A and B are shown apart, each in its own frame.
Chain A
Amino acid sequence: MIELQNVCRTFIVGDQQVAALRDINLRLDAAEYISIMGPSGSGKSTLLNLIGLLDRPSSGTYLLDEGNVTQLSDEQQANARRDKIGFVFQSFHLVPRLTAAQNVELPMILAGIPPEERKARVQVLMQNYGLSERADHRPDQLSGGQRQRVAIARATVMNPTVLLADEPTGNLDRNTGWEVLKLLEGLMDKGITLVVVTHDAEIGARARRQIHMLDGRILSDEQTN
């Protein structure tokens, strides 16, 4: 489903070239559960942004659903991001002036989906995630767990191929964090590939496939049962 071939990403800081990713080869299949771990600066966030089409590789090839997405125009890249990729962030990233339901609606608004269909899809998701009663609340009226659930609803409303979660439990207490993780893990039943970036070994250990990174390279890629 997702395939990276010899992908490098270098940044220019001042007059120095810094390699954030060095020669990454990676294949992620549908409904896989992958955790990416490593110390800060190891390149895990850069890898996530690359997979999420927010960034482009300096060299190498990226295939998403068998299509080469390495050299897409901004518009094509944005559309691919909208239709195939869901993001969940540590700091939730909800739009403060929109209600929970409107936040979930946002990707569908950008896609130009008609209001009736949007309403129906939002309603189903809100119900599934136990947010029906909070639909008209603004983010500052929601608890951390509720906010992240709204964010997950927003990330999945377009039925993406892959869901990228960057420290999804970083701002939550332990119990709420587990609940959110369970919610995310449940998405694999729908065939969504789940990538969780974390430096929490305990969370990373829940994934069947664990990738460790260091200095822009994949140190280990282990499959557990």
Chain B
Amino acid sequence: MIFRDFLTLTSSSFLAARMRSFLTGLGIAIGIAAVILLTSIGDGLHQFVLAEFSEFGTNIVTVQPGKTQTKGSNIGVIGSVRPLSLDDAEALRHLPYVENVNPGLMGNADLRANGKTRRSTVFGEGRNFSEAFTMKVQSGTFWNDADDEQARALAVLGTKVKQELFGAQNPLGQYLRIGGQRYRVIGVMESKGQILGMDMDDAVFIPAARAMELFNRPGLMEINVSYRPSADVNTVTRLITERLKEMHGREDFTTISQEEALEVLGSVLSVLTFAVGALGGISLLVGAVGILTIMTMAVTERTAEIGLLRALGAQEKQVLMLFLGEAIMLSALGGVFGLLIGIGIAQGLHLLVPALPVHTPWLFAVLAELTAVSIGLAAGVAPAMRAARLDPVEALHAE
């Protein structure tokens, strides 16, 4: 049989029962649509968070004070935690593979300049901040004092702070007060927008030592270590851990590599994907039962026709293929319909709620369609085999 004739024949039979075929296909369509919709949202979120993360640059290991224990509870202050100091940060600078080390902490403070006051985020950072985090200085420079401890009172402004306090004026060389202390403005950062909900433009950057003093904190909130892209993250983490243990006497800090953070995110998303897959799987199973039912009915209804086809010289194989083809075509069309619904709803949601990132991976669409086709195949096999094995003489006389 020529393939085009095969298609014409199979489609003619389910076109003859349009409503029934539509409803059967709908079962598959709903399953596929659910899977596609939820994976589109899941993948959109994944890509969104990934993009946010890499805004800070890649190849970064973060060290935070305090050891996160997965078991047992903290009873009072038995294990007192030694804060991370600028010395710790300085020590990490000399490790192999390390490119930049940035001590960091943050808080809020009143900024005053030109008779205007604004409350903004104040970041205490190291001199390599801009290189470590791929944040560029738009005008002026970042401070470059060799000794973080003895850092001068210099400040770099975020674009929004600059705009609010200085307007169109050139702020470079001017002074502003941060929490009462006087700082000289030496630079303005490039606009960076929001990252993970934090407005990086509504911020001021000052040396970490100054910030500790300002916020009256004994130590840093974190040390970010950026390493050469060619280096292995585990090696870098091990070197950092060893060096700090040497300095602190014990492991009272936590290292988090960006890869680890992404892995956690990935595992959360994979649980989500699994749940979605299970839900979609159930609806697809229901769809498969629908196809099985409809095909069983079709074989019964068209028994005389099967007998006729056999009398006209159809081989068992050809009858099998015709019915199998019909089941597959039903579920494949249902699958395509489901893809359209799923992508349609996902894009519609994106139009309604632009903040919701949506992305349909092509691989998923293809996999979903393949799943639909295999469901048709699986559900169609039994009825098609029954059709093929019918005794032609008996089939011819069925009414």
Binding between chains A and B: yes
Residues of A near any B CB (own CB < 8 A): 49, 52, 54-55, 74-75, 78-79, 81-83, 85, 87, 89, 93, 95-98, 106-107, 109-112, 114-115, 154, 158
Q: Return chain B residues, CB-CB under 8 Å to A114.
A: 2
Q: Return chain A residues, CB-CB under 8 Å to B392.
A: 54-55
The reply to whether the CB of B318 lies closer than 8 angstroms to some CB of chain A is: yes
Q: Return chain B residues, CB-CB under 8 Å to A95.
A: 305, 308
Q: Quick one: which of B13, B305, B311 contacts A54, CB cutoff 8 A?
A: B311
Chain B's closest residue to A154 (CB) is: B312
Task: Verify B316–A82 contact, CB threshold 8 A.
Answer: no
Separation in Å of the B340 CB from the closest CB of chain A?
27
Task: Verify A78–B315 contact, CB threshold 8 A.
Answer: yes
Q: Return chain A residues, CB-CB under 8 Å to B213.
A: none
Task: Verify B393–A82 contact, CB threshold 8 A.
Answer: no
**4 shortest interchain CB distances as A-B pairs:** A82-B313, A97-B16, A78-B315, A81-B313
- Counting residue pairs across A and B whose Cβ atoms lie within 8 Å, the total is 71
Q: Quick one: which of B12, B314, B396 contacts A110, CB cutoff 8 A?
A: B314
Q: How far is the CA of A106 from the CA of B6 in the complex (A)?
A: 11
Chain B's closest residue to A164 (CB) is: B311
- Ordered by A's residue number, 18 sampled pairs between the chains whose C-beta atoms are within 8 Å are A55-B393, A75-B315, A75-B317, A78-B310, A78-B316, A81-B311, A82-B314, A83-B313, A87-B311, A93-B307, A109-B2, A109-B5, A109-B9, A110-B309, A110-B313, A110-B314, A112-B2, A112-B5
The reply to whether the CB of B77 lies closer than 8 angstroms to some CB of chain A is: no
Task: Verify A89–B393 contact, CB threshold 8 A.
Answer: no
Q: Return chain B residues, CB-CB under 8 Å to A111.
A: 313
Task: Verify B315–A106 contact, CB threshold 8 A.
Answer: no
Q: Which residue of B304, B315, B396 has the most chain A CB atoms within 10 A of its CB atom?
A: B315
Residues of B near any A CB (own CB < 8 A): 1-2, 4-5, 9, 12-13, 15-16, 304-305, 307-318, 392-393, 396
Task: Verify A110–B312 contact, CB threshold 8 A.
Answer: yes
Q: Which residue of A49, A83, A107, A110 has the most chain B CB atoms within 10 A of its CB atom?
A: A110
Q: Return chain B residues, CB-CB under 8 Å to A74.
A: 315-316
Task: Verify A107–B393 contact, CB threshold 8 A.
Answer: no
Q: Which residue of A75, A79, A97, A114 has the most chain B CB atoms within 10 A of its CB atom?
A: A97
Task: Verify A78–B313 contact, CB threshold 8 A.
Answer: yes
Q: How far is the CA of A88 from the CA of B156 in the complex (A)?
A: 96
Task: Verify A106–B312 contact, CB threshold 8 A.
Answer: yes
Q: Return chain B residues, CB-CB under 8 Å to A79.
A: 313, 315
Task: Verify B318–A110 contact, CB threshold 8 A.
Answer: yes
Q: Return chain B residues, CB-CB under 8 Å to A110.
A: 1, 309, 312-314, 318
Q: Return chain B residues, CB-CB under 8 Å to A52.
A: 311
Excluding A93-B307, A97-B12, 17 further A-B contacts by CB distance (< 8 Å) are A49-B393, A54-B310, A54-B396, A75-B315, A79-B315, A82-B312, A87-B311, A93-B308, A95-B308, A97-B16, A106-B309, A110-B309, A112-B1, A112-B5, A115-B2, A115-B5, A158-B313
Chain B binding surface SS class: helix
Q: Which residue of B304, B307, B310 has the most chain A CB atoms within 10 A of its CB atom?
A: B310
Chain B's closest residue to A166 (CB) is: B396
Task: Verify A109–B1 contact, CB threshold 8 A.
Answer: yes
Separation in Å of the A63 CB from the closest CB of chain B?
19
Q: Return chain A residues, CB-CB under 8 Å to B305.
A: 95
Q: Return chain B residues, CB-CB under 8 Å to A75.
A: 315-317
Separation in Å of the A98 CB from the closest CB of chain B?
7
Q: Return chain B residues, CB-CB under 8 Å to A106.
A: 309, 312
Q: How far is the CA of A93 from the CA of B9 in the complex (A)?
A: 17
Task: Verify B314–A93 contact, CB threshold 8 A.
Answer: no
Separation in Å of the B378 CB from the closest CB of chain A?
25
Q: Return chain A residues, CB-CB under 8 Å to B5.
A: 109, 112, 115
Q: How far is the CA of A87 from the CA of B318 in the complex (A)?
A: 19
Q: How far is the CA of A166 from the CA of B317 in the complex (A)?
A: 27
Separation in Å of the A133 CB from the closest CB of chain B?
22
Q: Return chain A residues, CB-CB under 8 Å to B310.
A: 54, 78, 81
Separation in Å of the A121 CB from the closest CB of chain B?
15
Q: How far is the CA of A114 from the CA of B317 in the complex (A)?
A: 20
Q: Quick one: which of B16, B307, B313 contacts A107, CB cutoff 8 A?
A: B313
Q: Return chain B residues, CB-CB under 8 Å to A115.
A: 2, 4-5
Separation in Å of the B167 CB from the closest CB of chain A?
78
Q: Quick one: which of B13, B15, B318, B396 contacts A89, CB cutoff 8 A?
A: B396
Chain B's closest residue to A113 (CB) is: B2
Q: Return chain B residues, CB-CB under 8 Å to A55.
A: 392-393
Q: How far is the CA of A111 from the CA of B312 in the complex (A)?
A: 10
Q: Quick one: which of A49, A78, A83, A158 contacts B314, CB cutoff 8 A?
A: A78
Q: How far is the CA of A106 from the CA of B13 in the complex (A)?
A: 14
Q: How far is the CA of A154 from the CA of B307 in the complex (A)?
A: 15
Q: How far is the CA of A83 from the CA of B312 in the complex (A)?
A: 9
Q: How far is the CA of A82 from the CA of B1 in the complex (A)?
A: 13
Separation in Å of the A104 CB from the closest CB of chain B?
11
Chain A's closest residue to B388 (CB) is: A74
Q: Return chain A residues, CB-CB under 8 Å to B316.
A: 74-75, 78
Chain B's closest residue to A114 (CB) is: B2
Q: Return chain A residues, CB-CB under 8 Å to B308.
A: 93, 95
